[in-house]
Structure 1
Amino acid sequence: MNSSNADLPPGQRERDSFPRFGLTQFATRFPAQVDTIRLQILGEVRAPIEIGLAELQGLPRIELVADFHCVTTWTHKGLRWGGVRFRDFYQQLVLPKAGPVSGADFVILRGQDGARSCMSLQDLLAEDVLLADCLNGEALGLDHGAPLRLLAPAHYGYKNIKHLDRIEFRRSSVGYRPSAYRFMEHPRARVAAEERGRWLPNWLLRLLYRPLIGPTAARFEQALKERRP
């Protein structure tokens, strides 16, 4: 860990490495398909659709440099991401083809590994939110979300679903179940506001999370080594 944290968001500490990381139950879960991008658009829409690589390639590509903030209090700085803006994806593909109903602004994001999270449509339409397929000039690897992931730099890492393959638009959160315990998932999870979770104070969440960083990173790394030939 880097000892200089003055320029980081509240409660964060800089980490030199960018580990494969997440809830421990996902350490041994891997995507079935890493070579082909298929995004299902479901929920309260006029017509459920599937969007593939060819359609995404028709959108403007951008690169941006952003820090990654894990809710467990570590931050890795200066990652260079490539992909398409979620805003362009929504306006040019989702709206005309799937047609979410009015008020369907509660969005559920699911990965091939079974991970799921939610975001408001308002937050997803921010200028720096991407459907990312590249990291530091290379195609995403298995460790960081291949073939496609969400990147929402202003939000804690658990909102940045890896191996993204399904997006659901709903008018309410009724029936939604997060991957983790409910106290661990904030509806917005904005880093600057330190929205780590719900109901428990941030000082307690930091205290609970920090001892888990090393063992969790090691577990994910070991699972990845065992997965590779």
Structure 2
Amino acid sequence: MSTDRRVALVTGGSGGIGRATAVRLAKDGLAVAVHYAGNKARADETVAEIEASGGAAIAVGGDVADENEMAAAFDATEAAFGGVDVVVNTAGIMILAPIATLDLDDLDRMHRTNIRGTFVVSQQAARRVRAGGAIVNFSTSVVRTQFPMYGAYVASKAAVEGMTLILAREMRGKDITVNAVAPGPTATPLFLDGKDEETIAGLARAVPLERLGQPDDIAETVSFLAGPARWVNGQVLYSNGGLA
């Protein structure tokens, strides 16, 4: 399956923002490795959707926090397509609770995926992405909006922002950009889970464009960073419809 196309590896690519991103990058002409943690069937569905539109894709599995499994995912991507040019780190989990009552096991679970997982994938990307490539990590607009209940999640994503901006400086001389996308309220299962209709409507009204974001809105931002945005580096882009 080796190809001369640019190649993207999208973690969490089997659903939500990750799936929309994988499909969008394939439409942009990239070959895509669709990563999944546990649901291979959904990853295979994303691969099938890409291939039905004339794109090239494979599914790769692994725990993002396990360096050996992610090294194997990168190996599989390189074996299939000849290299890696873009790495998009959408994999993450979100558990909401007041800081005073959050179960510390949930804190550890979230930080293992969101912090260690992002670090492990970023480390592999820093070693393997080819010149002219891009690394895109994921934060959240709540780092800035500071909604109650999000303390532990925001702590993990603030860490992602910090490591992203430092990695951008560490990649000096390699012609590789490193940025983070910080979505606002976006209609994905991760965001909608556990929220009643009144809460969801209130968050939609808080956005000047008066709607929730859609996964395709965020994928568009990633597409910009992965392709034409060669002068955007070491930044956090708030893709949130104008939410403060």
TM-score (norm 2): 0.26
Q: Which has the higher strand share?
A: 1
Q: Which has the higher helix share?
A: 2
TM-score (norm 1): 0.27
Q: Larger relative contact order (C-alpha < 8 A, sep ≥ 6)?
A: 1
